[in-house]
A and B are shown apart, each in its own frame.
Chain A
Amino acid sequence: MRRHLLSAGDLSRDDATLVLETAEEMRSLADRPIKKLPALRGRTVVNLFFEDSTRTRISFEAAAKRLSADVINFSAKGSSVSKGESLKDTALTLEAMGADAVVCRHWASGAPHLLAHAGWSRSSVVNAGDGTHEHPTQALLDAFTMRRHLGDLDGRRVTIVGDVLHSRVARSNALLLRTLGADVTLVAPPTLLPYGVDSWGVATSYDLDAVLPTTDVVMMLRVQRERMNAAFFPSVREYSRRYGLDARRMATLPGHAIVMHPGPMVRGMEITADVADSDRSVIVEQVTNGVAVRMAVLYLLLGGSEAAIGGGDA
Protein backbone atom coordinates (compact mmCIF):
# COMPACT_ATOMS: atom_id res chain seq x y z
CA MET A 1 0.00 0.00 0.00
CA ARG A 2 1.33 3.45 -0.84
CA ARG A 3 1.33 5.99 1.95
CA HIS A 4 1.71 9.73 2.22
CA LEU A 5 3.08 12.29 4.64
CA LEU A 6 0.54 15.10 4.45
CA SER A 7 0.21 16.18 8.06
CA ALA A 8 2.36 15.92 11.16
CA GLY A 9 -0.83 14.50 12.69
CA ASP A 10 -0.49 11.40 10.43
CA LEU A 11 2.46 10.28 12.54
CA SER A 12 1.94 8.20 15.65
CA ARG A 13 4.50 8.50 18.41
CA ASP A 14 6.18 5.30 17.18
CA ASP A 15 6.25 6.56 13.57
CA ALA A 16 7.74 9.89 14.59
CA THR A 17 10.36 8.19 16.77
CA LEU A 18 11.24 5.85 13.88
CA VAL A 19 11.77 8.85 11.57
CA LEU A 20 13.92 10.64 14.13
CA GLU A 21 16.04 7.56 14.84
CA THR A 22 16.47 6.82 11.13
CA ALA A 23 17.45 10.46 10.60
CA GLU A 24 20.12 10.04 13.26
CA GLU A 25 21.74 7.32 11.12
CA MET A 26 21.30 9.41 7.96
CA ARG A 27 22.99 12.33 9.73
CA SER A 28 26.20 10.32 10.18
CA LEU A 29 26.43 10.01 6.39
CA ALA A 30 27.50 13.67 6.26
CA ASP A 31 30.82 12.73 7.90
CA ARG A 32 31.67 9.97 5.39
CA PRO A 33 33.80 10.25 2.25
CA ILE A 34 31.00 8.98 0.00
CA LYS A 35 27.74 10.73 0.89
CA LYS A 36 25.56 8.31 -0.98
CA LEU A 37 23.33 5.38 -0.10
CA PRO A 38 21.76 2.98 -2.60
CA ALA A 39 18.34 2.66 -0.95
CA LEU A 40 16.23 4.45 -3.60
CA ARG A 41 18.16 3.44 -6.72
CA GLY A 42 15.81 3.44 -9.70
CA ARG A 43 13.05 5.38 -7.89
CA THR A 44 11.93 8.75 -9.19
CA VAL A 45 11.17 11.65 -6.88
CA VAL A 46 9.49 14.74 -8.33
CA ASN A 47 9.85 18.06 -6.55
CA LEU A 48 6.64 19.87 -7.45
CA PHE A 49 6.94 23.46 -6.28
CA PHE A 50 4.15 25.94 -6.88
CA GLU A 51 5.58 28.44 -4.43
CA ASP A 52 9.03 29.96 -4.02
CA SER A 53 11.34 28.08 -1.74
CA THR A 54 15.08 27.74 -1.48
CA ARG A 55 15.95 25.65 1.50
CA THR A 56 13.09 23.17 1.36
CA ARG A 57 13.51 22.37 -2.32
CA ILE A 58 17.30 22.09 -2.12
CA SER A 59 16.98 20.03 1.03
CA PHE A 60 14.58 17.55 -0.57
CA GLU A 61 16.71 17.42 -3.70
CA ALA A 62 19.88 16.68 -1.70
CA ALA A 63 18.03 14.08 0.37
CA ALA A 64 16.69 12.21 -2.66
CA LYS A 65 20.03 12.34 -4.46
CA ARG A 66 21.94 11.05 -1.44
CA LEU A 67 19.61 8.06 -1.47
CA SER A 68 20.38 7.53 -5.19
CA ALA A 69 16.88 8.42 -6.41
CA ASP A 70 16.37 10.19 -9.72
CA VAL A 71 15.15 13.72 -9.06
CA ILE A 72 12.98 15.81 -11.34
CA ASN A 73 12.53 19.42 -10.32
CA PHE A 74 9.33 21.07 -11.39
CA SER A 75 8.56 24.63 -10.47
CA ALA A 76 5.40 26.38 -11.50
CA LYS A 77 7.32 29.36 -12.83
CA GLY A 78 8.42 28.71 -16.39
CA SER A 79 6.23 25.60 -16.70
CA SER A 80 2.86 24.94 -18.30
CA VAL A 81 1.26 25.94 -15.01
CA SER A 82 1.94 29.55 -15.93
CA LYS A 83 0.02 28.85 -19.14
CA GLY A 84 -3.00 27.80 -17.07
CA GLU A 85 -2.53 24.06 -16.62
CA SER A 86 -4.53 22.67 -13.72
CA LEU A 87 -3.13 20.69 -10.79
CA LYS A 88 -4.93 17.65 -12.17
CA ASP A 89 -3.24 17.81 -15.55
CA THR A 90 0.13 18.39 -13.93
CA ALA A 91 -0.49 15.33 -11.74
CA LEU A 92 -1.45 13.21 -14.75
CA THR A 93 1.75 14.26 -16.52
CA LEU A 94 3.85 13.26 -13.53
CA GLU A 95 1.99 9.95 -13.32
CA ALA A 96 2.76 9.30 -16.99
CA MET A 97 6.45 9.91 -16.23
CA GLY A 98 6.38 7.28 -13.51
CA ALA A 99 7.01 9.30 -10.37
CA ASP A 100 7.29 7.15 -7.24
CA ALA A 101 7.00 10.13 -4.92
CA VAL A 102 5.83 13.69 -5.38
CA VAL A 103 7.16 16.29 -2.98
CA CYS A 104 4.58 19.06 -3.18
CA ARG A 105 4.81 22.69 -2.12
CA HIS A 106 1.71 24.72 -2.90
CA TRP A 107 0.33 28.14 -1.98
CA ALA A 108 -3.12 26.60 -1.50
CA SER A 109 -3.82 24.78 1.76
CA GLY A 110 -4.89 21.22 1.00
CA ALA A 111 -3.31 20.89 -2.47
CA PRO A 112 -1.06 17.92 -1.45
CA HIS A 113 -4.11 16.24 0.09
CA LEU A 114 -5.98 16.58 -3.20
CA LEU A 115 -2.96 15.27 -5.09
CA ALA A 116 -2.80 12.23 -2.80
CA HIS A 117 -6.48 11.33 -2.67
CA ALA A 118 -8.07 12.46 -5.94
CA GLY A 119 -7.03 9.27 -7.73
CA TRP A 120 -4.92 11.11 -10.34
CA SER A 121 -1.72 9.31 -9.58
CA ARG A 122 -0.21 6.35 -7.78
CA SER A 123 2.75 8.12 -6.20
CA SER A 124 3.35 8.75 -2.53
CA VAL A 125 2.85 12.41 -1.72
CA VAL A 126 5.03 14.32 0.74
CA ASN A 127 3.70 17.69 1.83
CA ALA A 128 6.53 20.22 1.61
CA GLY A 129 4.34 23.06 2.86
CA ASP A 130 0.80 23.92 1.76
CA GLY A 131 -0.52 27.45 2.22
CA THR A 132 -1.09 28.24 5.88
CA HIS A 133 -1.87 24.60 6.68
CA GLU A 134 1.07 22.23 7.34
CA HIS A 135 4.76 21.59 6.82
CA PRO A 136 5.38 18.19 8.43
CA THR A 137 9.04 17.67 7.46
CA GLN A 138 9.90 21.06 8.99
CA ALA A 139 8.30 19.93 12.25
CA LEU A 140 10.28 16.68 12.09
CA LEU A 141 13.58 18.47 11.54
CA ASP A 142 12.76 20.89 14.37
CA ALA A 143 12.01 17.95 16.70
CA PHE A 144 15.21 16.25 15.52
CA THR A 145 17.26 19.37 16.31
CA MET A 146 15.61 19.70 19.73
CA ARG A 147 16.33 16.04 20.53
CA ARG A 148 20.00 16.42 19.66
CA HIS A 149 20.30 19.29 22.14
CA LEU A 150 17.87 18.33 24.88
CA GLY A 151 17.36 14.55 24.64
CA ASP A 152 13.87 13.14 25.09
CA LEU A 153 11.17 15.75 24.46
CA ASP A 154 8.73 14.40 27.04
CA GLY A 155 7.72 17.30 29.28
CA ARG A 156 9.97 19.84 27.51
CA ARG A 157 8.52 23.32 27.12
CA VAL A 158 8.53 24.73 23.62
CA THR A 159 7.44 28.30 22.94
CA ILE A 160 6.49 29.26 19.39
CA VAL A 161 6.38 33.02 18.88
CA GLY A 162 5.00 35.23 16.14
CA ASP A 163 2.71 34.91 13.16
CA VAL A 164 0.98 31.66 14.17
CA LEU A 165 -2.07 32.55 12.06
CA HIS A 166 -0.23 32.21 8.74
CA SER A 167 2.28 29.60 9.88
CA ARG A 168 2.15 26.03 8.61
CA VAL A 169 5.33 25.46 10.63
CA ALA A 170 3.57 26.34 13.89
CA ARG A 171 0.64 24.03 13.20
CA SER A 172 2.81 21.06 12.23
CA ASN A 173 5.11 21.65 15.18
CA ALA A 174 2.20 21.88 17.61
CA LEU A 175 0.81 18.55 16.35
CA LEU A 176 4.12 16.70 16.32
CA LEU A 177 5.46 18.07 19.59
CA ARG A 178 2.25 17.10 21.35
CA THR A 179 2.61 13.57 19.93
CA LEU A 180 6.15 13.49 21.32
CA GLY A 181 4.99 14.64 24.74
CA ALA A 182 6.28 18.23 24.80
CA ASP A 183 4.31 21.17 26.22
CA VAL A 184 3.77 23.83 23.57
CA THR A 185 2.94 27.49 24.21
CA LEU A 186 2.03 29.79 21.33
CA VAL A 187 2.83 33.45 21.87
CA ALA A 188 1.40 36.03 19.46
CA PRO A 189 -0.70 39.14 19.33
CA PRO A 190 -4.40 38.18 19.50
CA THR A 191 -4.83 39.07 15.82
CA LEU A 192 -2.19 36.53 14.77
CA LEU A 193 -3.59 33.53 16.67
CA PRO A 194 -5.77 31.35 14.44
CA TYR A 195 -9.45 30.73 15.06
CA GLY A 196 -9.96 27.40 16.84
CA VAL A 197 -6.51 27.36 18.43
CA ASP A 198 -8.15 26.13 21.67
CA SER A 199 -8.61 22.73 20.00
CA TRP A 200 -4.88 22.32 19.22
CA GLY A 201 -4.12 21.16 22.75
CA VAL A 202 -1.58 23.90 23.36
CA ALA A 203 -1.33 26.88 25.71
CA THR A 204 -1.47 30.43 24.37
CA SER A 205 -0.15 33.69 25.70
CA TYR A 206 0.17 37.31 24.64
CA ASP A 207 3.12 37.99 26.93
CA LEU A 208 6.51 36.74 25.73
CA ASP A 209 8.47 37.97 28.78
CA ALA A 210 6.30 35.91 31.14
CA VAL A 211 6.93 32.67 29.26
CA LEU A 212 10.65 32.83 28.44
CA PRO A 213 12.15 31.99 31.90
CA THR A 214 10.55 28.51 31.88
CA THR A 215 11.19 27.71 28.21
CA ASP A 216 13.53 25.00 26.89
CA VAL A 217 13.10 25.93 23.22
CA VAL A 218 12.00 29.23 21.73
CA MET A 219 11.03 29.14 18.07
CA MET A 220 10.63 32.47 16.29
CA LEU A 221 8.35 32.72 13.27
CA ARG A 222 8.58 35.15 10.40
CA VAL A 223 5.72 37.59 9.95
CA GLN A 224 4.33 36.49 6.59
CA ARG A 225 3.41 39.85 5.11
CA GLU A 226 2.90 38.28 1.68
CA ARG A 227 -0.09 36.42 3.10
CA MET A 228 -1.50 39.47 4.89
CA ASN A 229 -4.14 41.59 3.26
CA ALA A 230 -5.03 43.57 6.35
CA ALA A 231 -3.29 45.25 9.25
CA PHE A 232 -2.70 42.67 11.97
CA PHE A 233 -0.60 44.92 14.19
CA PRO A 234 -0.07 48.68 14.39
CA SER A 235 3.57 48.88 13.29
CA VAL A 236 6.70 46.80 12.75
CA ARG A 237 8.37 48.68 15.55
CA GLU A 238 5.62 47.84 18.01
CA TYR A 239 5.63 44.20 16.93
CA SER A 240 9.40 43.92 17.42
CA ARG A 241 9.18 45.52 20.85
CA ARG A 242 6.53 43.12 22.09
CA TYR A 243 7.24 39.89 20.21
CA GLY A 244 10.78 40.15 18.85
CA LEU A 245 13.67 38.21 20.41
CA ASP A 246 16.59 40.46 21.32
CA ALA A 247 19.65 39.90 23.52
CA ARG A 248 17.89 41.22 26.62
CA ARG A 249 15.01 38.77 26.24
CA MET A 250 17.36 35.91 25.36
CA ALA A 251 19.21 36.49 28.65
CA THR A 252 16.05 35.58 30.58
CA LEU A 253 16.02 32.05 29.08
CA PRO A 254 17.34 29.12 31.16
CA GLY A 255 21.03 28.27 30.46
CA HIS A 256 20.33 25.18 28.35
CA ALA A 257 17.59 26.73 26.18
CA ILE A 258 18.00 26.95 22.41
CA VAL A 259 16.74 29.46 19.85
CA MET A 260 15.22 28.22 16.58
CA HIS A 261 13.84 29.78 13.41
CA PRO A 262 12.47 27.89 10.41
CA GLY A 263 13.76 30.54 8.00
CA PRO A 264 13.74 32.75 6.09
CA MET A 265 14.52 35.24 8.86
CA VAL A 266 13.81 38.93 8.84
CA ARG A 267 16.65 40.19 11.00
CA GLY A 268 15.60 43.15 13.08
CA MET A 269 11.93 42.24 13.02
CA GLU A 270 11.17 38.97 14.85
CA ILE A 271 14.81 38.29 15.78
CA THR A 272 17.82 40.58 16.17
CA ALA A 273 21.04 39.79 14.32
CA ASP A 274 23.06 39.22 17.51
CA VAL A 275 20.51 36.63 18.72
CA ALA A 276 20.42 34.88 15.33
CA ASP A 277 24.23 34.59 15.34
CA SER A 278 24.60 33.69 19.04
CA ASP A 279 25.72 30.37 20.56
CA ARG A 280 22.15 29.64 21.56
CA SER A 281 20.94 29.79 18.00
CA VAL A 282 20.70 26.44 16.16
CA ILE A 283 19.28 27.97 12.99
CA VAL A 284 22.08 26.85 10.65
CA GLU A 285 22.05 23.38 12.19
CA GLN A 286 18.32 23.14 11.44
CA VAL A 287 19.16 23.35 7.74
CA THR A 288 21.79 20.58 7.97
CA ASN A 289 19.38 18.38 9.91
CA GLY A 290 16.69 18.99 7.31
CA VAL A 291 18.53 16.86 4.75
CA ALA A 292 18.90 13.94 7.19
CA VAL A 293 15.25 14.08 8.24
CA ARG A 294 14.01 14.23 4.63
CA MET A 295 16.24 11.29 3.75
CA ALA A 296 14.63 9.36 6.59
CA VAL A 297 11.11 10.25 5.40
CA LEU A 298 11.83 9.32 1.77
CA TYR A 299 13.55 6.08 2.79
CA LEU A 300 10.72 5.01 5.10
CA LEU A 301 8.06 5.86 2.49
CA LEU A 302 9.78 4.41 -0.59
CA GLY A 303 12.61 2.14 0.59
CA GLY A 304 10.67 -1.11 0.88
CA SER A 305 7.69 -2.83 -0.67
CA GLU A 306 5.49 -1.02 1.83
CA ALA A 307 5.92 2.28 3.62
CA ALA A 308 6.81 2.17 7.31
CA ILE A 309 5.24 5.53 8.17
CA GLY A 310 2.58 7.96 7.11
CA GLY A 311 -1.15 8.06 6.43
CA GLY A 312 -2.80 5.61 4.04
CA ASP A 313 -5.21 6.05 1.17
CA ALA A 314 -8.31 6.96 3.10
Chain B
Amino acid sequence: MTSAPPPAGQSDEGRVVLDAADIDRALTRISHEILERNKGSDDLVLLGIPTRGVHLAQRVAATLSRVEGAEVPVGSLDITMYRDDLRLRPARALMHTEVPPDGIDGRTVVLVDDVLFSGRTIRAALDAMNDLGRPAAVQLAVLVDRGHRQLPIRADFVGKNLPTSLVEQVAVRLAEHDGHDGVTIR
Protein backbone atom coordinates (compact mmCIF):
# COMPACT_ATOMS: atom_id res chain seq x y z
CA MET B 1 0.00 0.00 0.00
CA THR B 2 1.18 3.49 -0.75
CA SER B 3 0.68 6.32 1.68
CA ALA B 4 0.41 9.11 -0.90
CA PRO B 5 -1.80 11.99 0.25
CA PRO B 6 -5.33 11.80 -1.15
CA PRO B 7 -5.98 14.02 -4.20
CA ALA B 8 -7.65 17.39 -3.74
CA GLY B 9 -11.28 17.13 -2.67
CA GLN B 10 -10.64 13.64 -1.30
CA SER B 11 -9.85 12.46 2.19
CA ASP B 12 -9.30 8.97 3.55
CA GLU B 13 -12.96 9.09 4.58
CA GLY B 14 -14.17 9.71 1.00
CA ARG B 15 -15.09 12.71 -1.14
CA VAL B 16 -15.34 16.00 0.75
CA VAL B 17 -18.71 17.66 0.13
CA LEU B 18 -18.49 20.39 2.77
CA ASP B 19 -15.27 21.76 4.26
CA ALA B 20 -14.97 23.80 7.44
CA ALA B 21 -15.76 27.11 5.71
CA ASP B 22 -18.78 25.58 3.94
CA ILE B 23 -20.16 24.26 7.25
CA ASP B 24 -19.63 27.65 8.82
CA ARG B 25 -21.50 29.43 6.00
CA ALA B 26 -24.34 26.88 6.06
CA LEU B 27 -24.83 27.29 9.81
CA THR B 28 -24.76 31.07 9.52
CA ARG B 29 -27.44 30.92 6.82
CA ILE B 30 -29.54 28.48 8.88
CA SER B 31 -29.27 30.82 11.87
CA HIS B 32 -30.57 33.73 9.81
CA GLU B 33 -33.36 31.60 8.34
CA ILE B 34 -34.43 30.60 11.86
CA LEU B 35 -34.57 34.27 12.89
CA GLU B 36 -36.42 35.22 9.72
CA ARG B 37 -39.00 32.45 10.08
CA ASN B 38 -39.63 33.14 13.78
CA LYS B 39 -39.31 36.92 13.58
CA GLY B 40 -36.51 37.04 16.11
CA SER B 41 -35.23 34.73 18.84
CA ASP B 42 -37.92 35.25 21.51
CA ASP B 43 -39.28 31.99 22.88
CA LEU B 44 -36.83 29.93 20.84
CA VAL B 45 -35.21 26.80 22.33
CA LEU B 46 -32.60 24.76 20.46
CA LEU B 47 -32.46 21.04 21.20
CA GLY B 48 -29.57 19.12 19.66
CA ILE B 49 -29.68 15.38 19.14
CA PRO B 50 -26.46 13.82 20.56
CA THR B 51 -23.72 13.69 19.72
CA ARG B 52 -23.03 16.06 16.85
CA GLY B 53 -26.46 17.68 16.78
CA VAL B 54 -25.69 19.18 20.19
CA HIS B 55 -22.49 20.79 18.94
CA LEU B 56 -24.34 22.13 15.89
CA ALA B 57 -27.10 23.52 18.14
CA GLN B 58 -24.49 25.28 20.27
CA ARG B 59 -22.90 26.86 17.18
CA VAL B 60 -26.28 28.01 15.86
CA ALA B 61 -27.19 29.41 19.30
CA ALA B 62 -23.92 31.35 19.40
CA THR B 63 -24.72 32.92 16.02
CA LEU B 64 -28.29 33.69 17.08
CA SER B 65 -27.19 35.49 20.22
CA ARG B 66 -24.50 37.38 18.28
CA VAL B 67 -27.09 38.63 15.77
CA GLU B 68 -29.97 39.24 18.18
CA GLY B 69 -28.02 40.14 21.32
CA ALA B 70 -30.04 37.76 23.49
CA GLU B 71 -29.07 34.31 24.72
CA VAL B 72 -31.03 31.41 23.19
CA PRO B 73 -31.36 28.38 25.49
CA VAL B 74 -29.69 25.20 24.19
CA GLY B 75 -30.29 21.65 25.36
CA SER B 76 -29.69 18.10 24.27
CA LEU B 77 -32.25 15.39 23.69
CA ASP B 78 -31.28 11.73 23.84
CA ILE B 79 -33.61 9.57 21.78
CA THR B 80 -32.12 6.11 22.50
CA MET B 81 -35.08 4.76 24.46
CA TYR B 82 -37.58 6.09 21.92
CA ARG B 83 -36.00 4.40 18.89
CA ASP B 84 -38.23 2.01 16.98
CA ASP B 85 -35.33 -0.47 16.65
CA LEU B 86 -34.51 -0.52 20.38
CA ARG B 87 -35.55 -4.17 20.66
CA LEU B 88 -33.75 -5.24 17.51
CA ARG B 89 -30.26 -4.39 18.68
CA PRO B 90 -28.25 -5.03 21.84
CA ALA B 91 -28.95 -2.66 24.74
CA ARG B 92 -27.25 0.63 24.07
CA ALA B 93 -25.62 3.20 26.33
CA LEU B 94 -27.71 6.33 26.88
CA MET B 95 -26.62 9.79 25.82
CA HIS B 96 -27.16 12.94 27.82
CA THR B 97 -30.51 14.71 27.92
CA GLU B 98 -30.47 18.25 29.23
CA VAL B 99 -33.52 20.45 29.09
CA PRO B 100 -32.94 24.22 29.54
CA PRO B 101 -34.09 25.38 33.00
CA ASP B 102 -37.23 27.12 31.69
CA GLY B 103 -38.36 24.01 29.88
CA ILE B 104 -39.97 23.78 26.46
CA ASP B 105 -43.65 24.41 27.31
CA GLY B 106 -45.11 27.05 25.00
CA ARG B 107 -41.75 27.64 23.29
CA THR B 108 -40.73 27.14 19.68
CA VAL B 109 -38.30 24.24 19.69
CA VAL B 110 -35.78 23.91 16.88
CA LEU B 111 -34.47 20.34 16.75
CA VAL B 112 -30.92 20.19 15.41
CA ASP B 113 -29.26 17.10 13.92
CA ASP B 114 -26.32 16.46 11.64
CA VAL B 115 -27.80 14.20 8.94
CA LEU B 116 -31.45 13.69 7.97
CA PHE B 117 -31.88 10.25 6.38
CA SER B 118 -34.80 7.88 7.06
CA GLY B 119 -36.52 10.34 9.41
CA ARG B 120 -36.77 7.73 12.17
CA THR B 121 -34.45 9.62 14.52
CA ILE B 122 -36.67 12.69 14.23
CA ARG B 123 -39.80 10.62 14.85
CA ALA B 124 -38.16 9.30 18.02
CA ALA B 125 -37.15 12.84 18.99
CA LEU B 126 -40.75 14.05 18.64
CA ASP B 127 -41.87 11.24 20.96
CA ALA B 128 -39.10 12.02 23.45
CA MET B 129 -40.11 15.67 23.45
CA ASN B 130 -43.68 14.67 24.21
CA ASP B 131 -42.49 13.47 27.63
CA LEU B 132 -40.69 16.75 28.33
CA GLY B 133 -43.52 19.19 27.67
CA ARG B 134 -45.68 20.76 25.02
CA PRO B 135 -43.86 23.16 22.70
CA ALA B 136 -45.88 25.77 20.77
CA ALA B 137 -44.17 24.59 17.57
CA VAL B 138 -41.34 22.29 16.52
CA GLN B 139 -38.99 23.01 13.63
CA LEU B 140 -36.14 20.93 12.28
CA ALA B 141 -32.68 22.08 11.24
CA VAL B 142 -30.14 19.67 9.73
CA LEU B 143 -26.68 20.17 8.32
CA VAL B 144 -27.16 17.57 5.57
CA ASP B 145 -30.32 16.13 4.04
CA ARG B 146 -29.35 12.98 2.18
CA GLY B 147 -32.87 11.89 1.15
CA HIS B 148 -34.37 8.36 1.33
CA ARG B 149 -37.10 9.23 3.84
CA GLN B 150 -39.12 6.35 5.30
CA LEU B 151 -41.52 8.59 7.22
CA PRO B 152 -43.45 11.76 6.33
CA ILE B 153 -40.87 14.12 7.85
CA ARG B 154 -39.06 17.07 6.27
CA ALA B 155 -36.56 19.65 7.49
CA ASP B 156 -37.37 23.36 7.82
CA PHE B 157 -33.73 24.43 7.59
CA VAL B 158 -31.16 22.51 5.54
CA GLY B 159 -27.43 23.19 5.29
CA LYS B 160 -26.98 21.12 2.14
CA ASN B 161 -29.23 18.83 0.15
CA LEU B 162 -27.03 15.89 -0.76
CA PRO B 163 -28.38 13.37 -3.28
CA THR B 164 -27.01 9.95 -2.26
CA SER B 165 -27.47 6.30 -3.07
CA LEU B 166 -28.44 3.96 -0.24
CA VAL B 167 -25.03 2.25 -0.22
CA GLU B 168 -23.14 5.51 0.24
CA GLN B 169 -22.09 6.69 3.69
CA VAL B 170 -22.22 10.28 4.78
CA ALA B 171 -19.90 11.24 7.62
CA VAL B 172 -20.09 14.54 9.49
CA ARG B 173 -17.00 15.54 11.46
CA LEU B 174 -17.04 18.44 13.89
CA ALA B 175 -14.08 20.02 15.64
CA GLU B 176 -15.66 19.68 19.12
CA HIS B 177 -15.96 15.92 18.75
CA ASP B 178 -13.60 14.82 15.96
CA GLY B 179 -10.88 17.48 15.95
CA HIS B 180 -11.80 18.95 12.57
CA ASP B 181 -14.83 20.08 10.54
CA GLY B 182 -15.94 18.37 7.34
CA VAL B 183 -18.67 16.36 5.63
CA THR B 184 -17.58 13.45 3.44
CA ILE B 185 -19.35 10.88 1.31
CA ARG B 186 -18.13 7.50 0.14
Contact = CB atoms under 8 A, between A and B. Distances in A.
A248 interface: no
Interface stretch (A28-36, A72-80, A167-175, A237-245): A28-36
A38 B88 CA distance: 15
Given A18-B93, A22-B94, A32 B82 contact: no
Looking at chain B's contact residues, is the secondary structure mostly helix, strand, loop, or mixed? loop
A312 to B, nearest CB: 13
A69 interface: no
Interface in B94-111: 94-99, 103
Nearest to A307: B91
Nearest to B98: A28
Contact of A39 (B86, B95, B132): B86
A84 interface: no
Nearest to B95: A25
Interface residues on B, range: 20 to 34
A197 interface: no
Contacts of B96: 25
B132 A308 contact: no
Contacts of B89: 304-305
Contact of B81 (A18, A301, A303): A303
Interface residues of A, number: 24
Nearest to A36: B131
B69 interface: no
B132 A32 contact: yes
A21 interface: yes
B91 A25 contact: no
Contacts of B95: 25
B94 A34 contact: no
A306 interface: yes
Nearest to A299: B91
Given A25-B78, A28-B97, A39-B81, A304 B92 contact: yes
B91 A38 contact: no
A123 B82 CA distance: 24
B133 interface: yes
Contacts of A301: 91
A306 B92 CA distance: 9
B93 A308 contact: yes
Contacts of A284: none
B90 A38 contact: no
Given A25-B78, A38-B81, A303 B91 contact: yes
Given A25-B78, A32-B131, A38-B81, A306 B97 contact: no
A39 B92 CA distance: 11
A304 B90 CA distance: 5
Interface in A279-306: 299-306
A1 B81 CA distance: 20
Nearest to A37: B81
Given A32-B99, A305-B87, A38 B93 contact: no
A299 B127 CA distance: 18
Contacts of A33: 103, 132-133
A307 B92 CA distance: 9
Contacts of A300: 91
The residue among B86, B89, B97, B132 with the most chain A CB atoms within 10 A of its own CB is B86
Nearest to B133: A33
A18 B93 CA distance: 7
A309 B86 CA distance: 16
Contacts of B82: 38
Interface in B64-85: 78, 81-82
Contacts of A26: 94
Interface in A1-50: 18, 21-22, 25-26, 28, 32-34, 36-39
- Listed from nearest, the 8 A-B pairs whose CB atoms lie closest are A304-B91, A308-B91, A306-B90, A39-B81, A303-B91, A25-B94, A34-B131, A304-B90
Given A304-B92, A306-B91, 16 more contacts: A25-B94, A25-B96, A25-B97, A32-B99, A33-B132, A34-B132, A38-B127, A299-B94, A303-B91, A304-B87, A304-B91, A305-B87, A305-B88, A305-B89, A305-B90, A308-B91
Interface of B: 78, 81-82, 86-99, 103, 127, 131-133
Interface of A: 18, 21-22, 25-26, 28, 32-34, 36-39, 299-309
